[in-house]
Amino acid sequence: QVQLVQSGAEVKQPGASVKVACKSSGYTFTTYGISWVRQAPGQGLEWMGWISGNNGHRDFAQNFRGRVTMTTDTSTGTAYMELRSLRSDDTAVYYCARDCSSTFCYGDYWGQGTLVTVSS
């Protein structure tokens, strides 16, 4: 069965970086993409961006361009999202989701979420 398993919770200081991993199983990684969505405490969903599992093409929300890096390791079927220059308002649960391969679409399977807390 399709599964996305994310890395564990992180606590970071303001100005630091965080890298979240999303390991896939149960499907051919290169025939889909991965999108990243975050949710601040008590708030709604925020689309961050998408990366193709096939050719590395990416698309990002304007809010995150220049501060986020999305990569994939096709040998292990793992996607990574690194967010730099963390601020307190980056405190959120970060989700990965299986998405379309050639462009972003919808997430049909989701990881369990990774809580990132930014605090001094």
Partner 1 sequence: ETVLTQSPGSLSLSPGERATLSCRASQSVSSRYLAWYQQKPGQAPRLLIYGASSRATGIPDRFSGSGSGTDFTLTISRLEPEDSAVYYCQQYGNSPGTFGQGTKVEIK
**Residues at the interface with partner 1 (CB under 8 A):** 35, 37, 44-47, 49-50, 59-62, 95, 97, 104-108, 110-113
Q: Which is nearer to partner 1, 89 or 120 (CB)?
A: 89
Cβ distance to partner 1 smaller for residue 8 or 120: 8
3 state SS of 75? coil
Q: How far is the CB of 39 from partner 1 (least distance, A)?
A: 9
DSSP string, 23-40: EEESS-GGGSEEEEEEE-
Minimum Å gap between C-beta 98 and partner 1 is 10
Nearer to partner 1, 32 or 60 (CB): 60
Q: Is 72 or 114 the residue whose CB approaches partner 1 more closely?
A: 114
Q: How far is the CB of 47 from partner 1 (least distance, A)?
A: 4
Residues with Cβ within 8 Å of residue 24, at least 6 apart in sequence: 2, 3, 4, 34, 77, 78, 79, 98
Neighbours of 23 (CB within 10 A): 18
Q: Which residues of 39-58 are buried (b: 16+ CB within 10 A; e: fewer)?
A: eeeeeeeebbbbbbbbeeeb
CB of 105 to partner 1, least distance (A): 5
